[in-house]
Amino acid sequence: MELIIVAIVSFFLGKAIRPAGFADLRNPDKILKWDTSSFGWRPVVTKEEIQPGVTYLLAFETTANPDD
């Protein structure tokens, strides 16, 4: 019983408190769409370009940390 309570409290604390180094995965930095004419990913400029049934790539920018 105590293990379940600790797990529940840990879950809610983890949701409420985010470390500074974690990215917000709900808001991608770029949305990319496959371009068959150039065989590469191209950015989607507006939300109107997003169509149902098409696969998109959600991209998140990051920087290399030489200390890690």
Contacts of 29 (CB under 8 A, 6+ apart): 59, 60, 61
* pLDDT in single tens digits along all 68 residues of the chain: 889 999 998 888 877 776 666 666 677 788 888 888 888 888 888 877 788 888 888 888 777 776 65
User: What pLDDT is recorded for position 27?
Assistant: 75
The answer to whether the beta carbons of residues 59 and 29 sit under 8 Å apart is yes
Number of neighbours of residue 27 by Cβ within 10 angstroms: 8
- For the chain, the structural domain boundaries read 23-68
How confident is the model over 50-66, as pLDDT tens digits? 888 888 888 887 777 76
- Given the DSSP bridges, would you call strands 56-59 and 30-35 parallel, antiparallel or unpaired? antiparallel
**What is the side-by-side strand order in the sheet with 30-35?**
40-43, 30-35, 56-59
User: What pLDDT is recorded for position 24?
Assistant: 65
Q: pTM for the whole thing? A: 0.50
